[in-house]
A and B are shown apart, each in its own frame.
Chain A
């Protein structure tokens, strides 16, 4: 591990020392395979050696329960780090641009249009690099620094590339970012500005991902969504913690979440359940629904077909940030939606554009194509009665529209061209002032 600054800590040596030398038990028990249950110590690895299943961080909730409280959280920083007791970072977070604690907005105009009573948008465009990725990256790279890595890397559909590049710059880490070469220009410039080594791969995201899995196997880099993935994905839980806190410490009835790999959906579900387990919110049922674009809908299709497996597809959609044809957490997302009584639905590219416009025109929020997918599906579920009118519903808007203007440029009309005088304005207005 030549690129490491120091040897990776383990669950055994990662605990804190109390006054008098007694050791406080660690909140982190280790890693566990979601498939076969095999356990191993905390380390930068993501795949079970026995069955290739995904590894997940295991917490000691009895230890966490001794220190966590609503009051302690409320006294914390206005960022994801107010929930550090439930995140896999041991010391003071070292890689932080202030991700999280984004607005939860009550959306009466949109709710009225959709015929539902209580609708909220979690506006995660209000993050440092304008997408929810800042949550997972701050978590992953803070842990990576604790492991001793000095190089950050990722496979990305754009937003992650922006976030890793920015956080690496802030942390003084070297940075290698791999993207499909056909990404929107906003997402390319939104990475280049932070001066990473940006690799535009002639292939789709699944091909980029595969390349990164092979590169990660041969380098000592912290690939946030490969070898550091168990820590990275935990950052998405804060999307549940914040919503619960912002609703006055309660879970909503129904959440609608975009699906690419399926990781965020499963982690939001986990986040609400953790708060219930710790007694921070009341135990209750809530439903989780997922949104995909028709041109890349392996999970929604499996849901519709009643399958318990996800068949990979070759993506073709304007929602490039959701264009993962072989989603790593697809089956878990499927399980989550089914077990909570939720739904999955898909929308066409035209409906994606309509969704972007609908959110902007009714609530003043400009989202990217992924958000268009979410709003399109929200509309579909509301119209078909799958969101009940009296359910308190939260839709997650995870990225900003300014990064993907080409998706809607031909659908928003044009400004009226006028001369700099009153007569010209009045002519355009069609009446005298």
Chain B
């Protein structure tokens, strides 16, 4: 199940300076696991001590925020696009 993952600038150097990476994964957790296989730091930057997504990281599968889906357990299918986006933006 090939899935495209968009990597934000702060994490690109941990995946060989790439902005987009294709992974084989059936869930978001598996995708993170795979991306961390090159460099374990990828996981520690993205996940907190309890293994959940850090609160200032938003992850979208296609157009949907995974917090409205099944968070790290969100299933992935071939052709899905995953975007990792820093949460800090916008403001009033």
Contact = CB atoms under 8 A, between A and B. Distances in A.
A216 B90 CA distance: 12
Contact of B58 (A210, A223, A260): A210
B10 A49 contact: yes
Given A49-B10, A312-B67, A232 B91 contact: yes
Contact of A328 (B9, B10, B60, B88): B88
A46 B8 CA distance: 13
B90 A209 contact: yes
Contact of B92 (A35, A213, A260): A260
Interface string A83-119: 0000000000000000000000000000000000000
Contacts of B92: 157, 258-264, 321-322, 324, 398
Interface in A199-217: 205-207, 209-210, 212-214, 216-217
Interface residues of B, number: 24
Given A52-B10, A207-B63, A214 B83 contact: yes
Interface string B58-92: 10100101011000000000000001011111111
Contact of B91 (A48, A51, A136, A312): A136
A312 B55 contact: no
A229 B91 contact: yes
A52 B65 contact: no
Interface of B is mostly: mixed
A49 B44 CA distance: 12
B85 A210 contact: yes
B56 A225 contact: no
A47 B88 contact: yes
Contact of B68 (A47, A260, A312): A312
A50 interface: yes
A166 B10 CA distance: 32
B43 interface: no
A281 interface: no
Given A49-B10, A312-B65, A326-B65, A263 B56 contact: no
B29 interface: no
B1 interface: no
A363 B89 CA distance: 35
Interface in A22-63: 35, 46-54
Contacts, number: 101
A331 interface: yes
Contacts of B56: 35, 47-48, 51-54
A142 interface: no
A127 B90 CA distance: 21
A199 to B, nearest CB: 15
B6 A214 contact: yes
B45 A51 contact: yes
Nearest to A212: B89
A155 interface: yes
Given A51-B56, A52-B45, A328 B85 contact: no
Contacts of A322: 92
Contacts of A210: 58, 60, 83, 85, 89
Interface string A296-338: 0000000000000101101000000110101111010000000
B44 to A, nearest CB: 9
A54 B88 contact: yes
A226 interface: yes
A35 to B, nearest CB: 7
Contact of B89 (A48, A51, A225, A262): A225
A214 B85 contact: yes
9 nearest A-B residue pairs (beta carbon): A260-B92, A52-B56, A47-B86, A263-B91, A54-B88, A49-B10, A209-B90, A225-B91, A261-B91
Given A261-B91, A398-B92, 18 more contacts: A47-B88, A51-B54, A52-B56, A52-B57, A207-B63, A209-B89, A210-B60, A212-B89, A213-B85, A213-B86, A226-B89, A261-B90, A309-B55, A314-B68, A322-B92, A326-B58, A328-B89, A329-B91
26 contacts: A35-B56, A47-B10, A47-B56, A47-B86, A48-B10, A48-B56, A52-B45, A52-B56, A54-B56, A155-B89, A205-B90, A207-B63, A209-B90, A213-B85, A214-B83, A225-B89, A225-B91, A229-B88, A229-B89, A229-B91, A260-B92, A261-B90, A263-B92, A264-B92, A328-B88, A328-B91
Interface of A: 35, 46-54, 136, 155, 157, 160, 205-207, 209-210, 212-214, 216-217, 223, 225-226, 229, 232-233, 258-264, 309, 311-312, 314, 321-322, 324, 326-329, 331, 398
